[in-house]
């Protein structure tokens, strides 16, 4: 660690004020990613703004056609929420598969989405559920949000405040965990809406993405047969110490088959 100014705030306005006037600030939510990166000096901010005391950012609300989850909700809170477990089964199941109990009780949805780790689970849910990401000054559509590896569309003076998830007719998340970390070697989220189907993949490439061609095929014929004939294009898939692109491509296909079979 090295010296930085530490600020603990209890409202969004104070956090934004410090964020926009500091030289190189960082928001701290659960700290499960930020603290390790500080320790390794991968991140060396001048100011750390701890927002974990902002009570306005800790609720989950059912607004009829969407569920709004505030940024400081922990993964455990999302996994156990009555609204989420009854309305968006895939999202509750996804949150329950993150890391281990310690990670789920500390890590937050806002921190996870802001971090945009290519192996994180939430990005697949955000894309498949056509979520809207709300910040202290803007709103973003899911399809515009994840820009690159560890990079989102939000500006450096914005704080994620909540995420609106559309309620689908049915949804499911299937993941193949990295046995060491729990992160997704590959994860697939399938959501069925009245007006279409959305399929999103995480863990396979530099950022989460949708499979638009498969979505169209499944809209015409929602069956495992469609998957059997579907070729996963692994051109932009990651190869690393954990798995080759070809292996990840096979995982995606198998997980999609399982997901569609269960939804059918
Ligand atoms: C051992 C371990 C296993 C894990 N396994 C998984 C897993 O299986 N799947 C998975 O998806 N994740 C996993 N994670 C990640 C974890 O679940 C958290 O989601 C992640 O650490 C980020 O959330 P956080 O609240 O800890 O964010 P922090 O560490 O506090 O912040 C992360 C980044 O986001 C920024 N930030 C935080 N909150 C906001 C906000 N509201 N607005 C704008 N920027 C913000 C911070 O400045 C920082 O850059 C794991 C982590 C650990 C340590």
Residue 1 has pLDDT above 70, yes or no: no
16 within domain boundaries:
yes
Q: Is the pLDDT of residue 107 over 80?
A: yes
Report the percent of the chain where pLDDT is more than 90: 96
Tell me the HSE value of 94 on the side-chain side, using a 13 A CA sphere: 32
Number of domains the chain contains: 2
In this prediction, residue 119 has a pLDDT band, given cuts at 50, 70 and 90, of very high
Cβ 153 under 6 angstroms from ligand 1:
no
The whole-number average pLDDT for the span 98-117 is 97
Task: Tell me what pLDDT residue 160 has.
Answer: 98
Q: Closest ligand 1 atom, CA of 135?
A: 42
The response to whether residue 4 sits with its C-beta less than 6 Å from ligand 1 reads no
Q: Is the CB of 118 under 6 A from ligand 1?
A: no
Q: What is the Cβ-side half-sphere exposure of residue 179, based on CA atoms within 13 angstroms?
A: 3
What average pLDDT does range 148-155 have in this prediction?
96
167-226 pLDDT, tens digit each: 999 999 999 999 888 999 999 999 999 999 999 999 999 999 999 999 999 999 999 999
Supply the residue whose CA is at minimum distance from atom 37 of ligand 1: 111
Tell me which residue range forms the domain holding 202: 170-263
Nearest CA to ligand 1 atom 28: 31
Please tell me the predicted confidence (pLDDT) of residue 187. Answer: 98
In a domain, 246, yes or no: yes
Any ligand 1 atom below 6 A from CB of 128: no
CATH number of the domain enclosing 222: 3.30.390.50
Is there a domain that residue 139 lies in? no
DSSP H helices, 54-182, are: 75-80, 82-87, 89-96, 101-106, 109-115, 122-128, 142-145
**Is the pLDDT assigned to residue 2 strictly greater than 80?**
no
Is 98 inside any structural domain? no
pLDDT at 166 over 90: yes
**Pocket-testing residue among 29, 71, 102, ligand 1, by greatest number of atoms within 8 A of Cβ:** 29
Residue 18 has pLDDT above 90, yes or no: yes
Q: Is residue 12 part of a domain?
A: yes
The rounded percent of the chain whose pLDDT value lies above 70 is 100
Please check whether residue 2 lies inside any domain of the structure.
yes
**pLDDT, mean of residues 58-74:** 97
Identify the residue whose C-alpha is closest to ligand 1 atom 53: 32
CATH of the domain at 41: 3.30.43.10
- pLDDT averaged over the chain? 96
| Within-domain flag for 217 | yes
Picking from 33, 50, 67, the residue at the C-terminal end of a domain is 50
Spatial strand order in the sheet of 209-210:
170-177, 184-193, 196-202, 209-210
The predicted pLDDT at position 180 comes to 87
Report pLDDT for 181: 86
Domain finish residue from 31, 50, 69: 50
Q: What is the mean pLDDT of residues 22-29?
A: 97
- Is 254 inside any structural domain? yes
Contacts of 222 (CB under 8 A, 6+ apart): 192, 197, 260, 263, 264
For 223-236, write each residue's pLDDT tens digit.
Answer: 999 999 999 999 99
Evaluate: CB of 98 within 6 angstroms of ligand 1: yes
Q: Judge whether residue 26 has pLDDT over 80.
A: yes
């Amino acid at each position: 660690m090295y010296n930085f100014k530490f600020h603990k705030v209890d409202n969004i306005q104070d956090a934004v004020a410090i964020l926009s006037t500091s030289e190189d600030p960082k928001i701290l939510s659960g700290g499960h990613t930020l603290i390790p990166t500080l320790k390794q000096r991968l991140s060396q901010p001048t100011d750390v703004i701890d927002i974990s005391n902002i009570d306005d950012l800790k609720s989950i609300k059912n607004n009829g056609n969407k569920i709004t989850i505030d940024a400081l909700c922990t993964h455990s809170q999302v996994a156990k929420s009555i609204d989420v477990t009854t309305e968006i089964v895939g999202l509750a199941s996804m949150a329950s598969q993150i890391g281990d109990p310690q990670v789920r009780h500390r890590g937050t949805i806002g921190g996870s989405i802001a971090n945009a780790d290519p192996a994180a689970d939430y990005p697949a849910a955000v894309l498949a559920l056509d979520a809207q990401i709300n910040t202290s000054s803007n709103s973003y559509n899911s399809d515009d949000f994840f820009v690159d590896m560890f990079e989102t569309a939000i500006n450096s003076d914005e704080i994620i405040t909540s995420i609106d998830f559309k309620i689908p007719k049915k949804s499911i998340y299937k993941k193949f965990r990295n046995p060491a970390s729990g992160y997704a070697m590959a994860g697939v989220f399938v959501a069925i809406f009245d007006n279409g189907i959305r399929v999103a993949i995480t863990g396979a490439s530099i950022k989460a993405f949708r499979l638009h061609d498969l979505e169209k095929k499944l809209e015409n014929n929602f069956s495992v047969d469609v998957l059997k004939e579907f070729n996963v294009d692994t051109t932009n898939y990651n190869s690393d110490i954990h798995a080759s692109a070809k292996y990840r491509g096979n995982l995606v296909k198998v997980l999609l088959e399982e997901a569609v079979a269960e939804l059918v």
